[in-house]
Chain A
């Protein structure tokens, strides 16, 4: 009994930081409608800066002052990011904002290692609170008691701030109706910046408060952000009270789940989240979004199948790709195979995002499941490559069937966060269930059949599968099913009113995308000869997203171009610099700001802006570009409304 109490207290203590970070995310979302992915990065920065300050200035004042100053410094950085970056993209679809803040997260990861080094850091104990209470003959750290009290205290302070100050009233008003507050003459810019600074302050404080409890590491950002997403999905985005209740719930589930299912403790949290989502899709304290914004930029230029000229262009490109083994060496061919695998991966995500309007932030789950599926088939059933390539994607499909059922009940940012959470849960299963998946050591010895074991052979195999896969996806876009899917994306109301079951259609699209991602994953397993949990991890999902956005979200097959450009760039960067994440993050941020329509979208715009000259854009663009010339002089509407 007393043991359970201690466990419960430890859970409550962990809830404090989680609540701080989650409430910050919630407050920022409420007003700015931005899901700040970089929130985890600010949490981590809070911990690092606090470490440096408390390390330098000893004593109670040095410690507590250090925590506070660290949080303020990081809040200032957050405000800076808001002013420099986010102000430029408030009008963009929410996906771009998530992506831009992810770019910042990547940059911070490398910067942190650059400044503080790669090793874990041990922070000082809190002066005066380094001891422990004795409770029922067991020891409870005094610092934990402080944290337990801190959570409700912060909740109370936030309540006072929002209900008893003029600023707080404005924030609540803006949370309900931004346009109305703006038209009442409130300076939105500074309201947004101050809200953002407050949110980041809370995140940084959450991080800083962790230093006496745990080591400071350069991967604490991603682990917290997933937990925070789970918390806000359960509690309801925009609700501080919801964040508090859900933080306590999740922390307690973690504390006790470890007793029940030590290997896969995330499962308990996942089950609770699933139940909440089925019963209350907008979280315990959330409100249904009255008018969800379109999750993808919707083009005014309708899609058309390719013309004969464009088809020939594509055929030429495929032919050239097929001839590559005649001129290049093994290394180039394995790079080529890898790029092709990602072309299929990106195309599957692109199908789901642009045709289905379902912006998944966890598409790696199905890629990784496909890879693990193939590895299981080889390792446990002794299947040959041909069979494993067929069986592997079935695991991706199975994952899509299960997760998709929950995900399609949500839309917009909720959908994005839930897909991310599912992917992270899949990752943690692969990581923790060592007996089956080999954990961190992965599964080795996944080799192709003899005929495909040379770089040339495997390249051709990959090319054939990928070309067929992308072609099938494209056919699907223009099929009646694709039309129904687009209908459900454009107007759920109208689609339902003409007999379309939107959720089922979207679920089916989820499965299609999951299966094709699984095929890509299975190929990837044989390309590398091994499978690791990284194939399921967040960076993999984000790679896919960047490829899609780079290609252009308003195009039919832009992801193909996006994947080639991005993967080639990434592989090249890896070989050139130690700071690949910094550079990549920077590129993502620049792309979001400069090319919100992607490469292909940009080329199309450029093509359509000019008078209809014969084939001005050149064979490559003409081959890849998705649409035919539309009437000139069409007034272009903004995608975001």
Chain B
């Protein structure tokens, strides 16, 4: 079976500093893959290369067999890659619904139209997406006054507007309350299963990672040092030494559970 995303030998260096060196992995449709690693490991650089924001020095990124390196982010998006940002990026002068409507207008290639009221366009579709992420009650609110967790959910709705085949989420639950984190990731997982959408996300919260990821990759100093199921990665002594640490709370909790 062909992979949805096939990354080979990705390299990026900034004036001599090797941020990412030779990262290769693949991701299947419907798979939820977590990319973890210490600060400065190159996670965000990887993400930015995947959606076309940064051009890699070498390597290839194939989506369903099509080469994506060298395409600008907007074209990557047209090919079916949605993305959320580590620091949320939304249109602060618009309402929540209008944010989604802009994405839908773009998806339906109507943004060059000069006729008609855009606020009336794709309204039901926008509301459906907002309902999906649980933001329908706040559709009329100015986006500039939302709480941070709600902004994250809005970003998810916007990222889903183009029916992506692959969703990139850069720390999707940072700044959220524990309950919200679980809800958001459960929601994402449900969508991924239903639409056969691949999800790649970075995350520092190991509860989120080990609970929701089908597989986990560990990045350290620009190199992938492990890949496997959450259990495998958690037990990997190398990963523990570099990233997870010995006295990990999550592990301790689960050990207790196991003992009981």
* Residues 290-316 (chain A) with a chain B CB within 8 angstroms: 298-305
Do A302 and B98 have beta carbons less than 8 Å apart?
yes
The answer to whether the Cβ of B165 comes within 8 Å of any Cβ in the partner chain is no
Cα A476 to Cα B91 in complex, Å, equals: 18
CB pair A490–B106 under 8 Å, yes or no, is no
Tell me if B73 and A496 are in contact (CB < 8 A): yes
Q: Provide the bound-state CA to CA distance between A482 and B119, in Å.
A: 11
B195 at interface by CB-CB < 8 Å:
no
Q: Tell whether B117 is near chain A: CB-to-CB under 8 Å.
A: yes
Q: Is the Cβ of A480 less than 8 Å from the Cβ of B110?
A: yes
A298 and B116 contact, CB distance less than 8 A: no
Q: Which residues of A contact B89 (CB under 8 A)?
A: 491, 493-494, 497
Number of chain A residues whose Cβ lies closer than 8 Å to a Cβ of chain B? 37
**Interface flags, B89-113, vs A, CB<8A=1, else 0:** 1111111001001110111001111
**Distance of A490 Cα from B145 Cα, bound (Å):** 14
Residue A132 is within 8 A (CB to CB) of chain B in the complex: no
Chain A 478-516 interface 0/1 with B at a Cβ cutoff of 8 Å (1 = within): 111111101101110111111111000100000000000
- A499 close to B106 (CB less than 8 A): yes
Report how far A434 CA is from B121 CA in the complex, Å: 52
Q: How far is the CB of A539 from chain B (nearest CB, A)?
A: 31
| Contact between chains at B72 and A480 (CB < 8 Å) | no
Q: Is the CB of B145 within 8 A of A300?
A: yes
Q: B114 at interface (Cβ–Cβ under 8 A)?
A: yes
Chain A residues with CB under 8 Å of B202's CB are: none
Nearest CB of B to A492, in Å: 9
Q: Is the CB of A475 within 8 A of B114?
A: yes
Contacts of B61 in A (CB 8 A): none
> Is A635 an interface position by the 8 A CB rule?
yes
Residue in B closest to A489 when the chains form the complex, CB atoms: B93
* A300 vs B91: C-alpha distance when bound (angstroms): 10
| B115 in the interface (beta carbon within 8 A) | yes
**Binary interface profile of B, 31-70, with partner A (CB < 8 Å = 1, else 0)?**
0000000000000000000010100000000000000000
Minimum CB–CB distance from A552 to chain B (whole Å) comes to 14
In contact, A493 and B85 (Cβ under 8 angstroms) = yes
Instruction: Check A300–B103 contact: CB distance below 8 A.
Output: no
The residue from A305, A487, A630, A634 contacting B91, defined by CB atoms under 8 A apart: A487
Inter-subunit contact A499/B118 (CB<8 Å): no
* Distance of A298 Cα from B144 Cα, bound (Å): 9
| Complex alpha-carbon distance, A478 and B159, angstroms | 23
Complex contact B118–A498 (CB within 8 A) = no
In the bound complex, residues from chain B placing their C-beta under 8 Å from that of A299 are 93
Q: Which residue in A480, A496, A501 is a CB contact (below 8 Å) of B105? A: A480
Q: How far is the CA of A499 from the CA of B101 in the complex (A)?
A: 13
B-chain residues with CB within 8 Å of residue A491 when the two chains form the complex: 89-92
Alpha-carbon distance A495/B158, docked complex (angstroms): 11
Residue in chain B with minimal CB distance to A630? B142
Interface size on B, residues (CB 8 A): 44
Smallest Cβ distance from B7 to chain A, in angstroms? Answer: 19
- Given known contacts A300-B92, A480-B116, A497 and B111 CB-to-CB distance under 8 angstroms: no
Give A480 to B108 CA distance when docked, in angstroms: 11
Contact across chains for A298 and B85 when beta carbons are under 8 A apart: no
A505 and B118 CA atoms in complex are apart in Å by 16
**Contact digits for B104-145, partner A, Cβ 8 Å, 1 yes 0 no:** 011100111111111101000000000000000000011111
Contact flag A500-B92 (CB < 8 Å), given A480-B121, A494-B158: no
* B74 at interface, CB cutoff 8 A: yes
A304 to B94 Cα, complex, angstroms:
10
For residue B85, which residues in chain A have a CB less than 8 angstroms away from its CB? 493-494, 497
A630-B142, A637-B144 known; A482-B118 Cβ under 8 A: yes
Q: How far is the CA of A501 from the CA of B106 in the complex (A)?
A: 10
Could you say which residues of chain B place their CB within 8 Å of the CB of A305? 117, 119
Contacts of B186 in A (CB 8 A): none
The reply to whether B94 and A302 form a contact with Cβ atoms under 8 Å apart is yes
Is the CB–CB distance between B145 and A635 below 8 Å?
yes
Q: Which B residue sits closest to A477, measured CB to CB?
A: B118
B162 in contact (CB, < 8 A) = yes
Nearest CB of B to A257, in Å: 37
In the assembled complex, the Cα of A499 lies from the Cα of B85 at a distance in Å of 15
Contact residue among B73, B83, B119 (Cβ-Cβ distance under 8 Å from A478): B119
Contact call B142/A498, Cβ cutoff below 8 A? no
Q: Name A residues whose Cβ lies closer than 8 Å to a Cβ of B.
A: 298-305, 475-476, 478-484, 486-487, 489-491, 493-501, 505, 630-631, 634-635, 637
Binding site for A on B (CB under 8 A): 51, 53, 72-75, 77-78, 83, 85, 89-95, 98, 101-103, 105-107, 110-119, 121, 141-145, 158-159, 161-162
What 18 additional pairs, Cβ within 8 angstroms, besides A489-B93, A494-B85?
A301-B142, A302-B94, A304-B119, A305-B117, A479-B113, A480-B105, A480-B121, A481-B114, A483-B98, A483-B118, A490-B90, A496-B53, A496-B72, A497-B83, A499-B78, A500-B106, A500-B111, A631-B141
